[in-house]
Homo-oligomer: A and B are copies of this chain.
Amino acid sequence: MRFEILVLGNSSATPIYDRHPTAQILNFNEQLFLIDCGEGTQMQLHRYGIKSNKISRIFISHLHGDHYLGLVGLLSSMNLTGRMSELHLHGPAPLLEILNLQFKHSDTTLRYNLIFHPTNPDEEEVIMKSQMLTVRSFPLLHRVPTTGFRFDEGARAASLISEKIEGMNIPTVFFQQLKKGMDCTDLDGTVYRATELTKPAPPSRSYAYCSDTRAFATYIDAIYGVDLLYHETTFEHSLLDRAVETLHSTSLEAAQVALQAGVKRLLMGHYSARYKDLTPLLEEAKAVFDESVLSFEGNWYKV
């Protein structure tokens, strides 16, 4: 089952070197979510072959322009291209006021159902829950109210051991029960044991998204143990003063967070315009946490 991130933008506030403001697509089992929506996101979606009308849910971390200025254009284009399906939008409460003001003056009436869910910048909350997936928002530490997001896959099914199944003539109606760990009995009394016929379920996967923030202990619990952590790495550690002043993180700090939070892999991004070559940021992170990778636009990253 697919659980992957497509990076659409990896630039900090001043876009340069054909790097774009922050946006990511999360493909979870062919459901598409958009995380942040910097200016130009609709063009980036087009560039990388993502149909925007397939996005069912949008998550906005905070109201700095490089994280949400593409939203009004994207929502309007969805309208123009005939979107009918409902769209859920999670973000800071004032976002709704901003959207409504712009829709009012552009005389825009959405023909699809946009459902707004304000995020809570003060404490962790479950903001979506199904059997397959749980999404939480949690507070980050930035200049305006900001949340991160964590996506936890639900319990995964065991899989049948095909070599054992073949030729056994097990009624296919039993397959789902076996995968859930339940033994099944045939009409003639044959018993099929789940423990014998299935491989145990693979562990559930999880993704956490942290941008923008000072690297801080407060959200370590919220991101603990994820398979993939996206964490902003705006500056090298030699520019710590600048990171403190602007409430961003250095590459070294992000790597320390990844280490403390026991995550499997760190995905870096939100690079300052001063870095044309990103190698120094990567080397700094890897020195602390070897499983650090640079995010590049247009690349998919498996959770």
A contact set with B: CB distance below 8 Å: 13-16, 20-21, 39-40, 42-43, 46, 63-66, 69-70, 72-73, 76-77, 80-81, 92, 94-95, 97-98, 101-102, 105-108, 143-144
Quick one: which of B43, B46, B101, B102 contacts A65, CB cutoff 8 A?
Answer: B102
Are A43 and B66 in contact, CB atoms less than 8 angstroms apart?
no
Quick one: which of B21, B43, B63, B72 contacts A106, CB cutoff 8 A?
Answer: B63
Quick one: which of B15, B94, B143 contacts A43, CB cutoff 8 A?
Answer: B15
Q: How many whole Å from A17's CB to the nearest CB in chain B?
A: 9
Are A65 and B76 in contact, CB atoms less than 8 angstroms apart?
yes
For A63, the closest partner residue in chain B by CB is B105
Q: A76-B13, A98-B101 are in contact. Are A144 and B107 (CB under 8 A)?
A: yes
Are B40 and A77 in contact, CB atoms less than 8 angstroms apart?
no
Are B13 and A80 in contact, CB atoms less than 8 angstroms apart?
yes
Q: How many whole Å from A186's CB to the nearest CB in chain B?
A: 57
Are A72 and B73 in contact, CB atoms less than 8 angstroms apart?
no
Q: A40-B39, A42-B15 are in contact. Are A144 and B97 (CB under 8 A)?
A: no
Known: A15-B46, A66-B76, A94-B101. 9 other contacts (CB 8 A): A13-B76, A13-B80, A14-B77, A39-B42, A63-B106, A65-B73, A95-B105, A98-B105, A107-B143
User: Which residues of the partner chain B approach A80 to less than 8 Å between Cβ atoms?
Assistant: 13-14
